[in-house]
Amino acid sequence: MRQVWIAGLALMALPLASGAQPGARPEPRLAPESFYGLTTSTLEGQPADLGSFAGKVALVVNLASRCGFTPQYTGLEKLYRELQGRGFTILGFPSNDFGGQEPGTAREIRQFCSLNYDVTFPLFEKVVTRVGPGQSPVYANLQKQSGELPSWNFAKYLVGKDGRVVKFYPSRVPPEDAGLRKDIESALAR
């Protein structure tokens, strides 16, 4: 009986020995080469660790202010506000890669997003999505995982809680798309 009691104490002490707090959620297990293993900068130029989103489902979008798809900001913000309390986020990366449709400075982009679409989801530094020496490590990672790169503004990657790309959606798939919503719900349930 004494051995069972001692073994029980040892098992109870394991989480404490590992630094975990009693009752705390376990750290999410990240996939090898996880999207959440990357760092970048916020739109305002502050360091940003994408690991702070680990354990959440993310929709990563390359954005532009002067594009025919720019009205998708409305649906993206609606989706974000509706699902953020359930472990979902949208991560926006402005890009001037396609048609020069995001020429603004960080301040101009923030102002445009706030005034025209009341954007509250996280926005990051302007990036290069295309392959080449200036390509953002964020998009190099997304491409490596999915085999896809945006061919225009507002392409989307659904990233699971472990940082693995679940699916790629071209620009023409709006945030309101039933298939996209179903995929998000499925990723949240995992």
Reported as a single tens digit per residue, the pLDDT across 46-75 is 999 999 999 999 999 999 999 999 999 999
As a whole number, mean pLDDT of residues 148-160 equals 98
Distant-in-sequence contacts of 84-88, Cβ < 8 A, 24+ apart? 84/121, 86/188, 87/55, 87/56, 87/57, 87/161, 87/188, 88/56, 88/57, 88/58, 88/59, 88/184, 88/188
Whole-structure pTM value: 0.85
> Considering only the top CATH level, what class is 26-189?
alpha beta
Contacts of 61 (CB under 8 A, 6+ apart): 72, 76, 90, 91, 92, 93, 154, 155, 156, 157
Q: Choose the catalytic residue: 62, 116, 141, 153.
A: 116
Least confident of 8-12, 66-70, 85-89, 177-181: 8-12
Task: State residue 4's pLDDT score.
Answer: 41
Q: What percent of the residues of the chain are helix, what percent strand, and what percent coil, each to the nearest 5?
A: 40, 20, 45
141 as an active site residue: the answer is no
pLDDT digits (tens, 9 = 90+) for 161-182: 999 999 999 999 999 999 999 9
More confident residue, 87 or 26: 87
